[in-house]
C-alpha cells in the first residue's frame, strides 16, 4: 500500500497522513493514532521520495566535512558518532548524506544543499573558534545542531558538548594529587574548539597548583595511535621527562603505552597515563577493570542525541534553541599511580 492508497482509505490528505506518521505537532493525537493503526494494519512502509513531495521535506540529514577536517572521515570517533546518529535517523525515517568538500567550497555547499532542498538539516562537526558556519546557516534558513561549541559566537544556536574544560582540569588535578609535577598534554588539533578548552582546563589546574606551564610538555595533532607514540617517545627523551601524560583520546593513549613498553617503563608505576575516553564500541577500555584511568563520555550516545535534537528542530524551526553540556565520568584504571620517587 502506498501513501495515496492509505490516505484514500482514511479519507485524509496525503500531507496529513505523512505529517501524522512523522510526529508533526499540528496533527491531533486522535488523528495520529488512527493513521498509525491503519498503517500498521496494512503494513504501510513510507516512501521517502513520496513523503518529500507531500511534506516539502527531503527526509535526509546532511553532514558536510571540510578537507581541512578530513581526518574526521577516517577517525573511529567520527564513525561511532555517525553510528549513533544513524540509528536515530533510521527510527524516524531519515537518511543521511555525507559530503566531503574543499575548505573554500564549504559555504557554497551549504547554499546549494538548501537551494536544492537536498537536506532538511545539517549537523555541524568540529566547530572552531569564531566559527562562521552558524551565521551562514542562520542566514540561509537551514536548521542545524552543532556537535560541540564555538568560543566567540554569542548569537544563540543549538549544540551538544562535553565539558572539556572541567574534564581536563579535574584530570590534571588528579595527577597533581598523586604527586606528579611533570605532566604532559598530548592534545587534539587546537584549531578545534574542544582542544582549546582542554588545554585551558589543563593550564588552569597547573597554575592553581603552582606548577610551571612548560611548552615542551604540550603538543597538538591528529588523534592517532602513531601520534601518541611519536610524541611520547620525544618527551621521554627529554633531560627531565614527564612522569604523567594527559591524553586527548584513548587511541593516542594506546600509542603512549607502546612507547612506554619500548622504553621498558610500566604504566601506572613508572609513568602514569590519564586519557579522555569516547567509549568507542570497538576500542573498549578493558573488560572487568579499565586499562586506562579516564574521563569518559560516549560519542555514540552523543551522535544519537544530536540527531534527535536536529529532527526536533526541523519539526519546530522557530522553537527556542536547545543546548546540552554533558559532564564526563571518572573511571579509575591501572594506568595511574603515585609519582615515582627520585631515589
DSSP letter, residue 192:
B
Contact between 180 and 243 (Cβ < 8 Å): yes
Question: Within a 10 A sphere around the Cβ of 216, how many other Cβ atoms?
Answer: 14
C-alpha gyration radius of the chain: 24
What b/e string do you get for 247-276 counting C-beta neighbours within 10 Å, with b at 16 or more? bbbbbbbbbbbbbbeeeebebbeebbbbbb
Task: Look up residue 105 and give its three cell numbers.
Answer: 567550497
Strand pairing class (293-296; 329-331) = antiparallel
Q: The whole model's pTM is what?
A: 0.84
Nearest to 277 by CA among 258, 291, 260, 257: 291
**For residue 292, how many other CB atoms are within 10 A of its CB?**
26
Task: List, in sequence order, every residue forming a beta bridge with 275; answer none if it has no partner.
Answer: 247, 294
**Digits of tens for pLDDT over the chain (343 positions)?**
788 888 899 999 988 988 887 767 788 889 988 988 898 888 787 665 555 555 567 899 999 988 776 565 557 889 999 999 999 999 988 999 999 888 788 999 999 999 999 999 999 999 999 999 999 999 999 999 999 999 999 999 999 999 999 999 999 999 999 999 999 999 999 999 999 999 999 999 999 999 999 999 999 999 999 999 999 999 999 999 999 999 999 999 999 999 999 999 999 999 999 999 999 988 889 878 899 999 999 999 999 999 999 999 999 999 999 999 999 999 999 999 999 987 5
Amino acid at each position: 500500500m502506498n501513501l495515496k492508497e492509505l490516505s484514500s482509505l482514511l479519507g485524509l490528505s496525503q500531507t496529513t497522513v505523512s505529517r501524522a506518521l512523522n510526529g508533526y505537532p499540528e496533527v491531533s493525537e486522535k488523528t495520529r493514532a488512527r493513521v498509525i493503526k491503519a498503517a500498521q494494519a496494512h503494513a504501510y512502509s513510507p516512501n521517502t521520495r513520496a513523503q518529500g513531495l507531500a511534506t516539502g521535506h527531503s527526509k535526509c540529514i546532511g553532514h558536510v566535512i571540510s578537507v581541512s577536517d578530513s581526518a574526521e572521515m577516517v577517525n573511529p570517533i567520527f564513525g561511532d558518532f555517525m553510528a549513533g546518529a544513524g540509528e536515530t535517523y533510521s527510527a524516524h525515517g531519515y537518511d543521511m548524506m555525507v559530503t566531503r568538500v574543499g575548505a573554500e567550497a564549504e559555504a557554497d555547499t551549504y547554499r546549494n544543499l538548501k537551494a536544492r532542498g537536498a537536506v532538511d538539516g545539517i549537523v555541524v562537526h568540529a566547530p572552531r573558534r569564531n566559527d562562521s558556519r552558524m551565521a551562514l546557516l542562520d542566514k540561509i534558513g537551514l536548521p542545524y545542531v552543532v556537535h560541540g561549541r564555538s568560543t566567540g559566537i554569542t548569537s544563540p544556536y543549538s549544540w551538544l558538548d562535553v565539558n572539556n574544560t572541567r574534564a581536563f582540569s579535574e584530570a590534571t588535578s588528579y595527577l597533581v594529587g598523586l604527586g606528579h609535577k611533570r605532566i604532559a598534554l598530548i592534545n587534539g588539533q587546537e584549531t578545534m574548539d574542544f582542544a582549546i578548552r582542554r588545554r585551558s582546563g589543563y593550564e588552569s589546574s597547573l597554575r592553581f597548583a603552582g606548577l610551571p606551564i612548560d611548552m615542551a610538555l604540550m603538543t597538538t595533532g591528529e588523534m592517532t595511535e602513531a601520534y601518541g607514540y611519536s610524541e611520547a617517545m620525544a618527551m621521554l627523551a627529554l633531560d627531565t621527562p614527564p612522569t604523567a601524560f594527559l591524553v586527548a583520546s584513548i587511541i593516542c593513549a594506546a600509542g603512549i603505552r607502546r612507547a612506554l613498553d619500548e622504553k621498558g617503563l610500566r604504566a601506572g608505576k613508572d609513568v602514569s597515563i590519564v586519557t579522555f575516553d569516547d567509549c568507542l564500541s570497538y576500542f573498549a577500555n578493558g573488560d572487568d577493570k579499565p586499562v586506562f584511568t579516564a574521563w569518559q563520555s560516549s560519542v555514540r550516545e552523543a551522535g544519537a542525541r544530536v540527531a534527535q535534537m536536529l529532527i526536533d528542530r526541523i519539526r519546530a524551526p522557530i522553537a527556542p534553541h536547545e543546548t546540552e553540556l554533558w559532564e564526563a565520568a571518572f573511571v579509575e584504571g591501572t594506568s595511574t599511580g603515585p609519582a615515582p620517587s627520585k631515589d
